[in-house]
Structure 1
Amino acid sequence: MPNATYTDAGSGDTLVFLHGFAESKQLWTDFKKPLQQKFRTIALDLPGFGNNTTGGVNYSMESMADHVKQQLDNLGVDKCILIGHSMGGYVSMAFAGKYSSMLNGLCLFHSSALPDTDEKKDNRNKTLEFVEKHGVEKFMQSFVEPLFFADNREKLRSKIDLMKKIGTATLKESIVGGLAAMRDRPDRTDILKKAKFPVLFIFGKEDGAVPMDKALEQCHLPNNSMVYFLGKTGHMGMFERTYETRKAIEKFAETIYG
């Protein structure tokens, strides 16, 4: 189905991939192919993004987590490792708060359990005003490139263009709704502290969205955590350090599933 809101490939224990803000399941297309040799891999379009654009979306992280739960129920998944990039990680944390019994493990892929700081909330509000005034396409022209570490941008020009294309195709209401939902999400560090499942953190040392001090503030909180810091890497490790980030997820899954 060309308009499917998910991809489902491979067999075995299940890995579920959630994309970030102004992204889609297409983010994971090449990344997860080698993992399909060992695992069942599912990538979802979150409500309002990619092909999942049918009416009346509630953009809160809790509502998106409910959607993920419903999709996994429909696909017959009762246990999985959830891998969330950026906003997808925020959704994963909401999911962990509501449906922790479904999680064998959780990966925060350039993401955080911390809420927005006051400064970041102000920046979200300024971005909202910009999008309302100038539209999605103009926003994407300035939004995507800084997600990549400066030294990686030229060689990854095709990936930057891909992310701009995906972002530009996103509905304005989804951009606005997603920004507001990220701004208003709560602190979920308690969920990390209480987690009965292992947590993998993947951080880029040059990631402006999840700075190193914020990374260090939370990666020790779970009882069982694995942490991967990547030098010369921004917010898009699946493109900037494909082999290393994929291997990290594969090893994490093998540790859990044996």
Structure 2
Amino acid sequence: MSITPPTLVFLHGFLESNEIWEDFLRDFPPHYQTLRPNLPGYGPEPAAVTDYSLEAGAEYVHQYLREKGVHQVLLVGHSMGGYVALAFAEKFPAQVAGLCLFHSSSLPDSEEDAQRRQRNREFLEQHGVEAFTAEFLKPQFSAAQRESMSNEVALLQRIGASVSVETAVGGLEAIGHRPDRRAVLEQATYPVLFIAGKDDKAVPLEKTHEESLLPDHCTVLWLAKVGHVGFLERPTDTRKAIQGFAELVFGSK
């Protein structure tokens, strides 16, 4: 009977795909198995989707892991991927060995967030995804290094522009209607890692600080001059943090 190696599952965010993890995982220690599924509606050959909810995303990841023959995993979720990871942890807690919320949150949308998402939806429906990515993605980078990261901005814009309007709108709806999942953190029997950018406008520092006090075992990596995409803005530091977290979760090799 073969033994499954320690497995990390990397979940991408809104208007992304598993391509965002390609360079990030290139030098990850080989004794870990790293999986990076495309969430429903994403990737070069997306399957037809009827349910864009975060809960449906969690069910998809569960089935994906079953097909891979993997049970317990360390989940790393960027932004929307973190929302899916939390839904997975709520549904299948026994399968979670560790949870990393990478610029993500267990809190629901505020009224201000809801209004912003409604404006985003209207823009998407009127102007399309490509125009939306041109407006939406660049501000996710810290203003301190936004202009110097034109290649990285272009990468996200290219990936985002390939997403269908239906998936983009469905994702916004799912994110906007997500429930409060602080209880998942409060009840976590596994370690939790937050990676937070000090210049992140989507997930303010106050949210992360509040949530970091909920789990029994929690670590926070605060990064200066980083916005919402630390895997591109500070890849070495964030990769090192996740590697160290994996050693904590699975034991050092």
TM-score, length-normalised on structure 2? 0.96
Count of aligned pairs between the two proteins? 248
Query: Counterpart in 2 of 1:224?
Result: 217
Query: Counterpart in 2 of 1:244?
Result: 237
Structure 1 unpaired stretches of 5+: 1-10
Q: Which runs of 4+ in 1 moved over 4 A?
A: none
CA distance in structure 2 between the aligned counterparts of 1:60 and 1:116, rounded to whole angstroms: 15
Query: Counterpart in 2 of 1:179?
Result: 172
**Cα deviation digits, residues 60-107 of structure 1 (max 9, x gap):** 100000000000000011111000000000000000000010011000
Query: Counterpart in 2 of 1:110?
Result: 103
CA distance in structure 1 between the aligned counterparts of 2:209 and 2:219, rounded to whole angstroms: 12
Structure 2 unpaired stretches of 5+: none
TM-score, length-normalised on structure 1? 0.94
Query: Counterpart in 2 of 1:3?
Result: none
Query: Counterpart in 1 of 2:18?
Result: 25
CA distance in structure 1 between the aligned counterparts of 2:42 and 2:84, rounded to whole angstroms: 13
CA distance in structure 2 between the aligned counterparts of 1:178 and 1:36, rounded to whole angstroms: 32
Q: 2:32 aligns with which of 23, 26, 39?
A: 39
Determine helix, strand or coil for the equivalent of 2:152.
helix
Amino acid at match of 2:124: V
CA distance in structure 2 between the aligned counterparts of 1:69 and 1:139, rounded to whole angstroms: 31
Query: Counterpart in 2 of 1:80?
Result: 73
Identity of aligned residues (%): 46
Amino acid at match of 1:100: P
CA distance in structure 1 between the aligned counterparts of 2:134 and 2:232, rounded to whole angstroms: 19
Deviation at 1:36, TM superposition (A): 4.2
Deviation at 1:52, TM superposition (A): 5.2
Amino acid at match of 1:42: L
Amino acid at match of 1:159: E
**Cα deviation digits, residues 172-216 of structure 1 (max 9, x gap):** 100000001000000000110000111000000000000011111
CA distance in structure 2 between the aligned counterparts of 1:147 and 1:166, rounded to whole angstroms: 15
**Cα deviation digits, residues 136-188 of structure 1 (max 9, x gap):** 11111101100000121222111110100000000010000000100000000
Is the Cα contact below 8 Å between 2:14 and 2:79 reproduced in 1?
A: yes
Query: Counterpart in 2 of 1:155?
Result: 148
Amino acid at match of 1:109: F
Query: Counterpart in 2 of 1:196?
Result: 189
RMSD: 1.0
CA distance in structure 2 between the aligned counterparts of 1:54 and 1:84, rounded to whole angstroms: 21
CA distance in structure 1 between the aligned counterparts of 2:112 and 2:98, rounded to whole angstroms: 31
